[in-house]
Amino acid sequence: DAGITQSPRHKVTETGTPVTLRCHQTENHRYMYWYRQDPGHGLRLIHYSYGVKDTDKGEVSDGYSVSRSKTEDFLLTLESATSSQTSVYFCATIPGERATYTDTQYFGPGTRLTVL
Amino acid sequence: KNQVEQSPQSLIILEGKNCTLQCNYTVSPFSNLRWYKQDTGRGPVSLTIMTFSENTKSNGRYTATLDADTKQSSLHITASQLSDSASYICVVSYNTNAGKSTFGDGTTLTVKP
């Protein structure tokens, strides 16, 4: 699992509240990703990071922001949670300091978020 | 629009039997194609990864094939085991700096004794 942990693993919150999910890796990986997984949609990329303070948007970034102030942590923030953001969120990393086109992403265990 | 379509959506087989899962894609420009296995309640785990020049890749009882001309891939599972029950996800990358991929919805495989 490339030493990836996610916290919290489960969270229930109310509409309109801010929520921050944390992805932590201990192996100095450069690339980190946040995905959401919903029935009928597969995994969809929210944001990704290619280094400290270097981030970019994925295909479903609206309503989400990220920060990466340290190599080991990639934070995903829902600025004002909505029911449509109820989902399972996965963090992933690519081992090594420089990814190549043959890269394999390793996924964390996931965070189940419910927005009431 | 980049798309990855998997079939069948679900499949039930008896333990010991073989099966083949299909993946068709329209992703461009193609970088690589990966197959993942996802157990219920867990994150996906990589099975194989293939670049444009590779047409087959094996990982134990799992063999993936790639036809870049027809934009099709298959995952063949030999001598299935109960532990093979999972969702199998096809993923195609289209960004060589490892930024972005398109994921299929997955095929849910159930292996029965």
**Gap between the Cα atoms of B52 and B66, Å rounded:** 8
Closest-CA residue in chain A for B50? A102
Best mutation target, A32, A49, A50, A101, to test chain B (most B CBs within 10 A): A101
Q: How far is CA A71 from the centre of its chain?
A: 14
Q: How far is CA A116 from the centre of its chain?
A: 21
Give A85 to chain B, closest Cα distance, Å: 18
| Band of pLDDT at residue B25, cut at 50, 70 and 90 | very high
| Band of pLDDT at residue B99, cut at 50, 70 and 90 | low
Q: Is the pLDDT of residue B98 over 80?
A: no
Three-state SS string across A20-37, please? EEEEEECCCCCEEEEEEE
Question: pLDDT at position B101, please?
Answer: 85
3-class DSSP assignment, residue B108: strand
Closest CA to A45 of A84, A77, A89: A89
**Contacts of residue B61, Cβ cutoff 8 Å, sequence gap at least 6:** B77, B78, B79, B80, B81, B84
B65: how many CB neighbours lie within 10 A of its CB? 18
Q: Is B104 on the interface with A (CB under 8 A)?
A: yes
Answer with the residue of higher pLDDT: A102 or A113. A113
Q: Is A3 on the interface with B (CB under 8 A)?
A: no
Question: pLDDT at position B44, please?
Answer: 95
Closest-CA residue in chain B for A108? B43
pLDDT tens digits, residue range A42-88?
Answer: 899 999 998 898 999 988 999 999 999 999 999 999 999 999 999 99
- Residues of chain B in contact with residue A111, where contact means CB-CB under 8 angstroms, are none
Q: Is A98 on the interface with B (CB under 8 A)?
A: no
Query: Please, are residues B4 and B89 in contact by the beta-carbon 8 Å criterion?
Result: no
The interface residues of chain A toward chain B in range 60-89, judged by CB-CB distance below 8 A, are none
Once rounded to an integer, what is the mean pLDDT over residues B20-31?
Answer: 91
Distances (CA, A) of B84 to A90, B5, B15, B64: 22, 21, 9, 15
The pLDDT mean for chain B works out to: 93
% pLDDT > 70, chain B: 96
Measure the CA dihedral B72/A89/B110/B16, to 10°. 70
Question: pLDDT at position A51, please?
Answer: 86
Q: Is the pLDDT of residue A99 over 80?
A: no
Strands B32-38 and B45-51, by their bridges, are antiparallel
Query: Please, are residues A66 and A47 in contact by the beta-carbon 8 Å criterion?
Result: yes
Give φ, ψ of B67 to 5 degrees.
-115, 100
3-class DSSP assignment, residue B2: coil
pLDDT tens digits, residue range A2-23?
Answer: 689 999 999 999 999 999 999 9
Q: Is A34 on the interface with B (CB under 8 A)?
A: no
Answer with the residue of higher pLDDT: B81 or A1. B81
b/e code A15-33 from CB counts within 10 Å (16+ = b): eeeebebebbbeeebbbbb
| Band of pLDDT at residue B95, cut at 50, 70 and 90 | low
Closest-CA residue in chain A for B54? A102
Q: Do A43 and B45 touch (CB under 8 A)?
A: no
Q: Is the pLDDT of residue B50 over 60?
A: yes
